[in-house]
Amino acid sequence: MSTFIEVREVIKRIYGKYDAYINPVLKFLLAFIVFSVINSKLGYMEKLDRVAIVLVVSLLSSILPMVVMALFAGLFILLHLYALALECAIVAAFIMFLMFILFVRFAPGESVVVLLTPILFLLKIPYVIPIAVGLFGGPFSIFSVACGVVVANVVEFMSENGATIVTVDDGNMVSRIRFIIDGLLADKGMIVMCIAFAVTLVVVYVIRRRAIDFAWTIAIVAGAIVDMVILLFGDLKFDLNYSIGGLLFGGILAILLCLVLQFFSFHLDYKSTEDLQFEDDDYYYYVKAVPKITVAAANKKVKRINTASAPNKSASRPASQRPAQRPQAKTVHTANGTTKTVRKPSTQQPQDLQ
């Protein structure tokens, strides 16, 4: 276990040192994936469905705030839907406007949740979203998760029914808009998913805020169970044809991924928990202190070993065999302005008597 903790600390130190370079790279990769997924799912406007455009917009998104990336993604969706049918773009623009109002009002800093949710739906692991957001967000994060679910379902609906929308009532705008709205409202799966994710998020948030041992781990497992139970109940109620095996696999994978997130952000040593009590003039304080699990960085010392210098042979000789020392010279300035060199007598010791 200590090896994993050391690796975690190394990763955190590297990220803390080079975050100015790592964050733009991560934002670029996220933007590239988001825009590529939109083009692959919709792709009605050929001018947007080019790698060069995706790269340019991704580069711009990497140096701009996350909310700008979300706006670019919304613009991509609207342009593709406009190429499909004007009515699709109108309905999608109205839905995005309502979501934007709720998003800006309640969860303005969670653009990454809206962007990641459709991608995780595409990867068939959307169940990690409400648990992870419940761990790191708050109750109002329900709106960002709901917006992500709605965007994912709107894109999926437009992708599957694009050909049908074009042929509805020979181009009658009102008929097309009614067909699109009725199709979206009839999607019981989207409503059940929004309810399940909202309840799961609240359950995870409430449990992880409790002052109990292993609160985060309990919250992760409980959230996954609540999510699967609500989805199974919705499947039985509305005949949504959810795969039980897929739900179980997705729930277990969500638990594992969230445990990894917990390891990097909230890994505590509950064996060393201390209950503290102190007071001031007005209150008594009861504090539960749980230390974080950390490993001190290895303190490596380099010891230099130098070879001993050769002994001075002349110092080891007897005084009689040592070479005579030259008298030291000293320059003295006389009163009349001349200089005179004076040599000090030699300090050589007399020879040893035989």
Residue with more model confidence, 354 or 251: 251
Q: For residue range 67-98, what is the model confidence (pLDDT) as tens digits?
A: 999 999 999 999 999 999 999 999 999 999 99
The total domain count for the chain is 1
In a domain, 221, yes or no: yes
Q: Is residue 316 part of a domain?
A: no
pTM: 0.76
Instruction: Say if 215 falls within a structural domain.
Output: yes
- Concatenated DSSP letters of 306-323: PPPPPP-HHHHS-GGGSP
Let me know: does 126 contact 156? Beta carbons within 8 Å.
Answer: no
Give the pLDDT confidence of 168-226 residue by residue, as tens digits. 866 678 888 999 999 999 889 999 999 999 999 999 999 999 888 888 999 999 999 99
Where do we find the tokens 């700008």? Answer: 68
Tell me, yes or no, whether 227 lies in a domain.
yes
Percentage, residues of the chain above pLDDT 70: 78
Residue 173 token pair: 């705008």
Do the domain assignments include residue 91? yes
Which residue range(s) make up the domain with 109?
Answer: 85-266
Asked, for residue 232, whether it belongs to a domain, the answer is yes
> Could you report the per-residue pLDDT of 19-56, keeping only the tens digit for each?
999 999 999 999 999 999 999 999 899 888 899 999 99
- Secondary-structure breakdown of the chain: helix, strand, coil percentages, each rounded to the nearest 5: 65, 5, 25
On whether residue 92 sits in a domain, the answer given is: yes
Provide mean pLDDT across the span 237-259: 91
Give per-residue pLDDT as tens, 212-246: 888 899 999 999 999 999 999 999 988 888 888 98
Residue 99 is assigned to a structural domain of this protein: yes
Count Cα neighbours of 45 within 13 Å in the Cβ-side half-sphere: 17
